Amino acid sequence: MRTFDIAVMVGTILVIASPAAAQDWRGPYIGASIGGAMVDDDEDERVVFDTNLDGAFNDTVRNAAMVDAFGPTTANPGGFCGGRARSNNFASGCIDDDDVGGDFALRAGWDFQTGPWVYGVVVEAASVDIQDYATAFSITPAAYQFQRELNDGLFAARLRGGRTWGRALVYATGGVATAKVTDSFSTTNTANSFTPLTSEDDATGYQFGAGVETWLTDRLTLGVEYLYTNLDAGDGLTVRTGPGTAPATNPFLIVNPQGTDQRRMADELAFQSFRVTLSARF
């Protein structure tokens, strides 16, 4: 059963099973969550090129016959996909970024209450296992693949507010998030040189979502939560495709013999999380 289905089922049970008696949500709490995360996939993402090394990634890589080296008009067509390459050619396609990775978090917060309305703040440290790919295929054929993933932890601070129904609290939440993002590059091209192969950058962004939470005992609450996270990773990894053992007629060397720079087009890492939460309140 998918994480989303489990979260919906638990949330429904929490709302239905909550007795009518109201509960006081005021005060501090600590807790943990466990669930799954999935990349918000852009299947049309491209890899972009700077053939004259002027810093503008708006060039077309062409071979000696002036044919687009990543174009669709040859016996071995090239192209792009927002996923992981199955092989070295465009015809073999890509594996979509739809795998569900683990999402584990520790949190602390403080809630305030006015009548049935509850509002507060929560801070969180999470470990999220996701990968986001973008791949270019040349007509050689060869694959050029960029991978982006979270490194170390994801840290967030959010506001949340909602309304109580008996012992249940239904809420919305939103705030800021930051993490280190690692970009890496791999290719089936063995003629050119490629540097660097990895980079690490600080990424900042935002989170928003919603959840439902209910009392298990007079100190413990159980809930489910959905979160959307969007992190700006900047320009990410720029790879210099150099001469290596390739001749001067190599498509990456024709405009500038030093080579061609390439990077993925998107500068963000976005994903959705579905969690089950458990909190101890004081």
Q: What is the per-residue pLDDT across 167-207, written as a single tens digit (0 to 9) for each?
A: 999 999 999 999 999 999 999 999 999 999 999 999 999 99
pLDDT digits (tens, 9 = 90+) for 38-49: 998 777 899 999
H or E element: which one contains 105? strand 101-114
3-class secondary-structure state, position 80: strand
Specify the range with the lowest mean pLDDT, choosing from 36-45, 83-92, 215-224, 267-276. Answer: 36-45
Average pLDDT over the chain, rounded to whole? 91
Residue ranges and CATH numbers for the domains of the chain are 3-281 (2.40.160.20)
The pTM is what? 0.87
Residue 98 banded pLDDT, cuts 50, 70, 90: confident
Torsion of CA 240, 150, 130, 2, to 10 degrees: -160
Residue pair 229/268 in contact by the 8 Å Cβ criterion: no
Give Cα 14 distance to the centre of its chain: 29
